[in-house]
Structure 1
Amino acid sequence: MPAPRGAKVNDRDVYATVACGALRAEVVRCCDWDASDGIDTVDISFEARINGLREDGGGAAEIFATDSTELFGLAQVAVQAALLLGEARRS
């Protein structure tokens, strides 16, 4: 994207959201540009944020990722942890 004339750009906006119960995930689009960098295009990147914290601050943690492989790995670990937790509670 061509750089704008004048002011520095540092914008963030929600590109997409998904929710499952109290868990909420957002894909955020990040646009950055500063004339002092000497680059004539706006840098556009995406990041994913997952927030599963209850109002009292307990429970799941906040998660931030910029690479989809990180989220796929997190999903695999979450499934295994859920299975182990269920197994532990049954014994």
Structure 2
Amino acid sequence: EAREQIQKLAENLEDANTRLRELDRQKSEFLSMAAHQLRTPLTSIKGYASLMLEGSYGELPQKVNTVLETIFSSSARMVDTVSDFLNVSRIEQGKM
């Protein structure tokens, strides 16, 4: 009786561990995919803001430059955050 209960508990624990490993794999896969999908448009926003600030599209009013500086710095922070997510995902998948 006790041995059967222990065996059943061990089986339940193994099933739970299997489910947890699968959920962890799915979470890592999602983080990686989401980070890649976010990084591409953010990099474009950051790049175009930088080009505009550098005068590549002509001289802009100071008010516009101020807004572009905010766009550039915010997008740079977001790119860094997304890169951190990617690094965590890679570490969890054993790729770093």
Q: Which one has more relative contact order, counting CA pairs under 8 Å at least 6 apart?
A: 2
Question: TM-score scaled by structure 2?
Answer: 0.31
Q: Higher Cα Rg: structure 1 or 2?
A: 2
Q: Which has the higher helix share?
A: 2
